[in-house]
Chains A and B, each alone.
Chain A
Amino acid sequence: MYGEKLVTINNKEYRVWNALDSKLAAALKKGIKDLFVRPEMTCLYLGSSTGTTASHISDIVGKNGCVFCVESAPRVMREFLFLCEERENLVPILADASQPELYKERIIKVEWLYQDVAQRNQVDIFLRNTVMFARKGAYCVLTVKARNIDVKKEPKKVFEEVEHELEKHLKIIAKTTLEPFQKDHMVFVMRY
């Protein structure tokens, strides 16, 4: 799909989910036991880019699942639209995730939510989308890039503050940094 390896085990073909290409794969490698995404789930993916990671979520939820993908950059959305032609469980939304009111009619409530948007106000974006689209009890995964929030501050400090903010609304189940795959990133796995 994007140059990842394919392996065949017991006559079934699998796509390798590479930790260098995808932060969620990196999180699993770093010891996150479960991302809580399951077959048949309805999902929301914020910051889907060209769909590298979204394609793996699409594989996991399968044909009876659905992944709404919000992306604000037209250039990458173009590639993503081509991907949607091949994968019927992907739903493209070219929109700014910081304005969820503008696309609230276009998404139904979801059971799993993931965000990776590399924006200064990423926590705020995440919380507002969670409140608007996540079912009670939904699993929410957030990738935080410290540098985007504040370049001057120690990443550790940034993560602490983010965690404090998240705890007001969600229960944190697990978290991990992504070294050596990504610098100054933290992934939070939570329940709403």
Chain B
Amino acid sequence: MVCDKNLRKKNIELSENALRNSVTPDILMIQAVSMFETLDSVQEVIFSKFKEWYGYYYPELERKPGNFIEDVIKDKRPIESLGGVIKGEHKQILLKNARFLKEFSEAKKQIDGYIQESMKKICPNITALAGYVLGLKIIKQAGSLKHLAELPASTIQLLGAEKALFRHLAKKAKSPKYGLLFNHPLVQKAKNKGKAAKLVADKLAICARLDYFKGEFRGEDLRKKIEQKIK
């Protein structure tokens, strides 16, 4: 049967609206942290390429104290430098690239600042308990704040350890005790890391629900409770 034009139109409208409304701040923060991780992973390659290139102009600068890129942009190359005599377009492009690298670093800092601020605002409990970076990574692994709020603590404990978990279930390998939570400072410090991860996961499940349903602020208290128990 031919599609009823009105029914189709109504369905398109409803789906388009639902799509628009699905864009929540946690989803934007996940995108931001993902960009941060990508920038971070290529930073070293880009900077070392640039240093190699710049070394033909003013190789001594790299060994000097101070902010390398800032100093490149100031462009105070002494005449006795071992670098070549580089002028005109050859020098211009080098300095333009230096400005790009400066902006690259700034972009990273800006994303970091944005994540920190937004996490404090939107997920105060998770942030108090796990810090904004780890907190956001956990939200990212769950897919969204809503999703995280729906997960039982036992699943949260193993977020980021899905492969190991699957290996355990399928091939009877040892069961993992933590995933991303391994990076939590209280887990790092603890002797019994598995137990610590479980404690953190239990409280994190509460924090996720508090943040998702915009409940009260208890993150700090919950964190202290874990500290006491671990001692």
Q: Which residues of A contact B (CB under 8 A)?
A: 40-42, 63-66, 68, 74, 77-78, 81, 84, 88-89, 91-95, 106, 108, 151-152
The residue that B18 contacts in the complex, of A42, A84, A94, with Cβ under 8 A, is A94
| Contact digits for B1-25, partner A, Cβ 8 Å, 1 yes 0 no | 1111001101110111011001100
Chain A residues whose CB sits within 8 angstroms of the CB of B169 once the complex forms:
151-152
Question: Knowing A74-B22, A91-B7, A106-B11 touch, does A81 contact B1 (C-beta < 8 A)?
Answer: no
**Is B166 close to A, CB under 8 A?**
yes
Cβ–Cβ contact A66 & B1, under 8 A: yes
Given A64-B1, A66-B2, A81-B19, answer yes or no on A106-B7 (Cβ-Cβ < 8 Å): yes
Q: How far is the CA of A81 from the CA of B4 in the complex (A)?
A: 17
B15 and A93 form a contact (CB under 8 A): yes
Interface class of chain B by DSSP: helix
Closest B residue to A92 by beta carbon equals B15
Q: Is B170 interfacial (CB 8 A cutoff)?
A: yes
Q: Are A64 and B18 neighbours in the complex by a CB distance under 8 Å?
A: no
| Interface of chain A: mostly helix, strand, loop or mixed | mixed
Expressed in whole angstroms, the Cα–Cα distance for A81 and B19 within the complex equals: 10
Q: Are A84 and B3 in contact (CB under 8 A)?
A: no
Closest chain B residue, CB of each to CB of A95:
B18
- A65 CA to B4 CA, complexed, in Å: 10
Cβ–Cβ contact B19 & A91, under 8 A: no
Q: Are A74 and B18 neighbours in the complex by a CB distance under 8 Å?
A: yes
Select from chain A the residue with minimum beta-carbon distance to B170: A151
Do B16 and A106 have beta carbons less than 8 Å apart?
Answer: no
- Return the chain A residue nearest B172 by Cβ: A152
Is the beta-carbon distance between B18 and A91 smaller than 8 angstroms?
no
Chain B residues close to A by CB (< 8 Å): 1-4, 7-8, 10-12, 14-16, 18-19, 22-23, 166, 169-170
Q: Closest chain B residue to A89 by CB distance? A: B3
CB distance from B121 to the nearest CB of A (A): 23
| Docked pose: A40 CA to B1 CA in angstroms | 5
Using Cβ atoms and an 8 Å threshold, which residues of chain B touch A152? 169-170
A66 to B170, CA, bound (A): 41
Q: A106 to chain B: which residues have CB within 8 Å? A: 7, 10-11, 14
Q: A63-B2, A65-B1, A66-B3 are in contact. Are A92 and B166 (CB under 8 A)?
A: no
- Can you pick out 26 interface pairs between chain A and chain B where the beta carbons lie within 8 Å of each other? A42-B1, A63-B2, A65-B1, A65-B2, A66-B3, A66-B4, A66-B8, A74-B19, A74-B22, A77-B19, A78-B19, A81-B15, A81-B19, A88-B8, A89-B2, A89-B3, A91-B3, A91-B11, A91-B12, A92-B15, A106-B7, A108-B7, A151-B166, A151-B169, A151-B170, A152-B170
Contacts of B170 in A (CB 8 A): 151-152
For B143, the closest partner residue in chain A by CB is: A73
B82 to chain A, nearest CB (A): 52
CB pair B2–A64 under 8 Å, yes or no, is yes
Most buried by A among B4, B15, B16, B22: B15
Extra inter-chain contacts (18) besides given A84-B12, A95-B18, A152-B169, CB under 8 Å: A40-B1, A42-B1, A66-B1, A66-B2, A66-B3, A66-B4, A78-B19, A89-B2, A89-B3, A91-B3, A91-B7, A91-B12, A93-B11, A93-B14, A106-B11, A106-B14, A151-B166, A151-B170
Chain A residues closer than 8 Å to B18, beta-carbon distance: 74, 94-95
Q: Cβ of A94 and Cβ of B7 under 8 Å apart?
A: no
Residues of A within 8 A of B14 (CB): 93-94, 106
Question: Complex formed: what's the CA distance from A188 to B8 in Å?
Answer: 29
Which residues of chain A come closer than 8 Å to B166, judged between CB atoms? 151
Question: Please, which residues of chain B bring their CB within 8 A of the CB of A66?
Answer: 1-4, 8
